[in-house]
Amino acid sequence: MIMTAANIPNFELLLASHYVDGQPKLVFLDWLTADDAHAAEQDSKSLGKLKKHYRLTDDDITFIQVNSLSKENDLQDLLLTAIQQLNDYAAGNLATFELPLDISMGTAFQQRVWQALQAIPYGQTISYAQLAANIGQPTAFRAVANANGKNPFSIVIPCHRVIASGGGLGGYTGGLDKKRYLLDIEAS
């Protein structure tokens, strides 16, 4: 597994790629807090989950600085592609990400929610209740909100497009300032 911390305009993200069924896949992309950025190589909050899910040891994980990634390596090239697409998104030039994702770390329910999130059009929002209805479980809005919060692909799987039924922002793992920023990008 290859991991890198990327600084994208107004974003500090941790990304990871790994071979899944012989193919390079993005397996994680999430916000870094100031503490995570300082300790990303040692203590990412999700590193333990990734190691367990993919049955990895510390020796199986390589942290590489963004400026040292190479297009010659499939896993590193995927990270470079993800970073370029995130930059294009931040600039308002990309509405749909085209990245191979491995969502197998989620439960079957979480995977259904994450797939439904990808169907929310760029620049639009829906409520947690509507998302629950979209997966055929209209009373499961709390479970949908929980699955939304466990999304391992912030921004790429657009959990920021889900808001409270009353029109408020609701929650967001990266922080409401980031959710508002992403919605503003999509509104312009």
> For the residues of 152-173, what is the DSSP string, one character each?
SBTTTS-GGGEE-TTSS----T
Q: Are 99 and 82 in contact (CB under 8 A)?
A: yes
Among left, alpha and beta (phi > 0; psi -120 to 50; other), residue 87 is: alpha
Q: Using 50, 70 and 90 to split pLDDT, how confident is the model at 168? A: confident
Question: CA–CA separation, 132 vs 150, rounded Å?
Answer: 15
pLDDT at residue 14 tops 50 = yes
**CA–CA separation, 56 and 91 (whole Å):** 35
Three-state SS annotation for 86-105: HHHHHCCCCCCCCCCECCCC
Give the mean pLDDT of 107-126.
Answer: 96
Confidence of residue 185 (pLDDT cuts 50, 70, 90): very high
Average of pLDDT values for 96-103? Answer: 96
pLDDT score at 38: 45
What residue spans define the domains of the chain?
2-90, 108-187
At residue 36 the predicted structure's pLDDT band, cuts being 50, 70 and 90, is: very low
CATH architecture of the domain with range 108-187? Orthogonal Bundle (1.10)
Q: Say whether pLDDT at 92 is over 60.
A: yes
Is 36 a catalytic site residue?
no
The pLDDT confidence band at residue 101, using thresholds 50, 70 and 90, is very high
- Over residues 15-41, the mean pLDDT reads 79
Task: Determine what percent of the chain is predicted with pLDDT higher than 70.
Answer: 93
Q: Summarize pLDDT for 141-167 with one digit per residue, the tens.
A: 899 999 998 999 989 999 999 998 888
Q: Which residue among the candidates 2, 29, 159, 162 is catalytic per the annotation?
A: 159
pLDDT band at 58 (very low <50, low <70, confident <90, very high): confident
